[in-house]
Amino acid sequence: MGPRGGVVTQRIANPCTPVRFRAWPPNKRSKFVETSQSSSGIALLYIQPGKPQQNAYVERYNRTVRHEWLDQNQFVSIKEAQHQATTWLWTYNNQRPNMAIGGIPPAAKLANAA
């Protein structure tokens, strides 16, 4: 079981579990997700090739990563890339305003909701 396996299991055990959710094609997802979904009765809806709008949140995030981080940096090593990715992700979640949630960072929105 991967590091997120416990989270998936908790959500499946939750009575508010969705009946279906979008997923990557079978060759792109983990065996854990496959076995968890089959044992819980959750149907997987596959993203059709050439239809990125079916996975709009991930596509939008990927675009942001590409424009704000990958296009701005050159990396000499994997360790440097990992360090810069961690720094960028922290800034993205804690300092960068998100206009979709009222111009505040996601961490502030989460803190206000709690």
Burial of 102 (C-beta count, 10 Å sphere; 0-12/13-18/19+): exposed
100 and 62: one domain?
yes
Q: Is the pTM of this model over 0.75?
A: no
Counted domains in the chain:
2
Q: Taking the chain, what is the end-to-end CA distance rounded to the nearest angstrom?
A: 29
Domain that holds residue 36: 5-46
Q: If pLDDT is split at 50, 70 and 90, which confidence band does 7 have?
A: very low
Extract the tokens encoding 67: 């424009």
Give per-residue pLDDT as tens, 44-79.
Answer: 667 777 777 777 878 888 888 889 888 888 889 999
Cβ atoms of 43 and 20 within 8 Å: the answer is yes
60 and 98: one domain?
yes
107 and 71: one domain?
yes
